[in-house]
Amino acid sequence: MMQNTNATSSTVKKKAAITDQQVLIAGGGHVGLSFALLLAHHGIKSTLLEKNSYPTISPQDDRTRSHYLDSRNTALSRRTVQIYQEIGLWDELQSHACRIDAVQISEQGSFGRAQLNKADEQVESFGQVMENAWLGRKLLLAAQQESLISIIDNANVIAVEQQPDGVTLSFSYYGEEEHEQQLQASLLVACDGRDSTVRQLLDIGTTTYDYQQTAIVGVVETDKPHDHVAIERFSPAGPLAVLPLTDPEGDGNEEYQQGYRRSVVWVCPKGEETRYLEDDAHFLATLQGAFGDRAGTFVNAGRRGGYPLTRVLADKQVAGRCVIMGNAAHTLHPVAGQGFNLCMRDAQVLAKMLSAQVLRGEDIGSPALLTRYEKFRQTDQKRVIRFCDAVVHGFTHPNPAIKLARNMALVAFDKLPNIKPLVANYAMGLKS
């Protein structure tokens, strides 16, 4: 079903459409929707195909949460916030985002600890935290109101065929009855997740690494207000985090009080996740043992899910007129919340390159242009991948000498001048 209206959000500043060239986007999660909105900001039309059925929402339905995504929460870096500001969407997102004013870092059972404060680094915040249910809903609503974006949900991609001057996407559509359709465009961008169908149809392989871990992700309540502090804690099982969240407007759970809700990421060895998911008391007691009194007392556990942790990297991100983006290109460990923010930087760079190509009157699907994009993004991507793996392996290695070294490094990080600004800018996505 094609959803395409002439209404536009009053907060989004648009540039006039300056090209008849179009982009097909396979995958309508956070990255796919954000990329479509970035293209629209530059006057480029797109058609977005999503295999799932989108919920019915309206601007007046602001108190209703949409749980069509999952129980996870997203940490938005300062750079990601800036990207949403640039396309005029941040005003819509901000009401459900909770800023991070400070970050505390420590290791369970060790002396090393460090803290970042926004005042010391002279920033408004280190980033924002939003529940996926809200972020996905706001992005979908903005896309549905954008005249340059057409949306087809319940669409299952079945074939990709490239021509010298375009690409054809075949998909089966589940409306009143199943039938097959085709769409043509200058460029196809695949944002269809870790197990990307488009990536497989293009015969692009992957390099994978199983961390043998499961992330337990959801929302908890503590008896101590979060004061906009994020706590990163390293345990023998893996990296853990509690992040500040906003009030639960429309959630129907009045037990959650203002400033007491937190997003939690708990990593456990694969095979041990069932009890953490099903036994609230055990989950809360385990969190208490790992975090001590840093967050106060964990008093309530909300909806949560378990996600196997595997690094999946596409062997290449460009094939002819097709680009692999988002988790289809690089699925990373959630430590430090870098994955989505890296995807947003990819999306912004490609959108700007396509806009410049249009202004030159040239083909936005040019394989040479897309190859330049892929090469340009390699430095940032490789750096983030190395950083995530170094943190995961470095803080879980049981060797006493390595443990001593990493705790001394934390102390040095906290005390030595000029180190914090570098790390803070990196974490905020301002150094790419």
- Kindly tell me the burial class for residue 300, based on how many C-beta atoms sit within 10 Å of its own C-beta (0-12, 13-18, 19 or more): middle
3-state secondary structure of 393: helix
Residue 348: inside a domain: yes
Residue position matching structure tokens 């648009």:
14
At 222, which amino acid appears?
Answer: T
* Same domain as 102, residue 124: yes
CA dihedral (209, 214, 218, 220) in degrees, to 10, reads: -130
DSSP state of 257: P
For residue 409, give its domain range.
80-132+212-311+401-427
d(CA 24, CA 26): 7
146 to each of 43, 51, 63, 273, how far by Cα in Å? 11, 20, 22, 41
The count of domains in the chain is 2
Residue 419: inside a domain: yes
* Same domain as 84, residue 50: no
3-state secondary structure of 4: coil
d(CA 142, CA 146): 6
* Same domain as 349, residue 251: no
pTM assigned to the model: 0.86
Q: Is the dihedral of CA 296, 302, 307, 311 positive or negative?
A: negative
**Which residues, at least 6 apart from 312, have a Cβ–Cβ distance to it below 8 Å?**
194, 206, 207, 208, 327, 330, 331
Residue position matching structure tokens 């995961």:
392
Q: Is the dihedral of CA 241, 247, 253, 257 positive or negative?
A: positive
* Same domain as 354, residue 224: no
- Cβ neighbours of 66 (radius 10 Å): 18
Tens of pLDDT along the chain (432 residues) come to 333 333 333 344 444 445 788 999 999 999 999 999 999 999 999 999 999 998 877 766 654 444 444 568 899 999 999 999 999 999 888 888 899 999 888 776 665 667 778 887 777 888 899 988 889 989 999 999 999 999 999 999 999 999 999 999 999 987 656 788 999 999 999 999 999 999 999 999 999 999 899 999 999 999 999 999 999 887 776 678 899 988 765 444 444 445 888 999 988 889 999 999 999 999 999 999 988 888 999 999 988 899 999 999 999 999 999 999 999 999 998 877 889 999 999 999 999 999 999 999 999 999 999 999 999 999 999 998 988 887 776 656 555 655 556 555 555 555 556 655 555 555 555 565
CATH of the domain at 419: 3.30.9.10
Contact (Cβ atoms closer than 8 angstroms) between residue 50 and residue 149? no
